[in-house]
C-alpha cells in the first residue's frame, strides 16, 4: 500500500516536484497563500506532483489538487512569536487517512536538546507501517530554522541515515554543496528542502539543477515557488529540470 501511495507522488522516472504550502501554521499568512484553492491550482497547472498541506487546508481545499498527491503535515513548528527550534507532533496518521492523504510529513531535529523529536518520528514510522502510509521525514540539524552552520555535509549525512533507521520512506533535507555525499549516505529518496526566499531565480534554479545532478529525487519547495510572481511559470521551470533533465539556462526561459 505504501508503494501504491508513493506512486501518486513520484512519477515513473523516480522523481517528484512537491510544493510546500504548510507555512501559515507558524507565521503570518503570506499574501500568496491567502486563497489556498487558487494557490494550489496555480502550481498544479505548472506541473506539481504533490502539495504539502496542514490539517485545515487539507480538510477544505484538497479538491483543488485535481488528482495530484496530498502530503499531510503532522507536526507544528514554533510560530514567529515564539522562541526556539522545536517541533511538536499534533496530528496523527489515522486523520491523514480519513482526509485521503497519500503521505504524511513530520520533522526530525538533531542536536540542541531537540532529539525527542526523533522519538516521535520513530513512533510515527510505526503507525505509518501499520496503516500503509508513506512517511516523509524532514531532517533538520539544529531544528526548525536552526543555526545554518549546523547544516553541513557531515550532519546531513547523519540526518538522512537516521531518517531511514526510524522507518521513513522519503527524506526532505536542505541542499548544501557536496550534496552527493549526503545522497550517498541514504538508502531512501532524498528531496531538497527549499529554504529562504531568494530574489535570484537563475541561481535558485541552478542550485536545484546541481542537487538533481548530485542524485536528489526532486524537491519539496514552498516560498520560492508560490512566492514567485508567477507560481505556475516557476513550477514549470522546476519541472523542466526535475523531469525533463533541462539545465537552469533552459528552465529559466519558462519565467519569461
The predicted pLDDT at position 43 comes to 98
pTM across the whole model: 0.95
The mean per-residue pLDDT over the stretch 63-85 comes to 89
Distance CA 151, CA 177 (A): 11
Distance CA 10, CA 23 (A): 23
Distance CA 51, CA 44 (A): 9
Whether CATH 3.40.50.1820 fits 2-255 = no
Residue 195 has pLDDT above 80, yes or no: no
The mean per-residue pLDDT over the stretch 87-97 comes to 94
Amino acid at each position: 500500500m505504501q508503494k501504491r501511495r508513493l506512486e501518486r507522488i513520484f512519477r515513473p522516472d523516480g522523481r517528484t516536484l512537491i510544493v510546500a504550502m504548510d507555512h501559515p501554521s507558524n507565521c503570518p499568512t503570506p499574501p500568496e497563500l491567502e486563497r489556498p484553492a487558487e494557490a494550489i491550482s496555480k502550481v498544479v497547472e505548472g506541473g506539481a506532483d504533490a502539495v504539502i498541506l496542514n490539517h485545515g487546508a487539507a480538510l477544505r481545499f484538497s479538491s483543488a489538487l485535481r488528482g495530484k498527491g496530498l502530503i499531510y503535515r503532522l507536526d507544528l513548528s514554533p510560530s514567529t512569536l515564539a522562541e526556539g527550534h522545536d517541533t511538536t507532533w499534533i496530528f496523527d496518521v489515522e486523520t491523514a487517512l480519513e482526509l485521503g492523504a497519500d503521505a504524511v510529513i513530520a520533522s526530525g531535529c538533531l542536536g540542541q536538546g531537540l532529539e525527542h523529536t526523533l522519538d516521535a518520528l520513530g513512533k510515527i514510522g510505526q503507525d505509518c507501517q501499520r496503516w500503509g502510509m508513506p512517511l516523509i521525514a524532514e531532517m533538520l540539524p539544529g531544528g526548525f530554522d536552526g543555526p545554518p552552520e549546523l547544516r553541513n555535509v557531515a550532519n546531513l549525512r547523519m540526518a538522512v541515515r537516521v531518517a531511514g533507521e526510524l522507518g521513513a520512506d522519503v527524506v526532505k533535507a536542505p541542499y548544501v554543496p557536496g550534496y552527493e555525499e549526503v545522497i550517498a549516505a541514504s538508502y531512501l529518496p532524498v528531496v531538497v528542502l527549499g529554504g529562504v526566499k531568494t530574489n535570484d531565480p537563475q541561481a535558485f534554479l541552478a542550485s536545484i539543477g546541481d542537487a538533481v545532478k548530485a542524485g536528489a529525487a526532486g524537491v519539496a519547495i514552498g516560498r520560492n515557488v508560490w512566492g514567485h510572481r508567477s507560481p505556475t511559470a516557476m513550477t514549470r521551470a522546476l519541472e523542466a529540470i526535475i523531469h525533463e533533465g533541462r539545465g537552469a539556462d533552459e528552465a529559466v526561459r519558462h519565467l519569461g
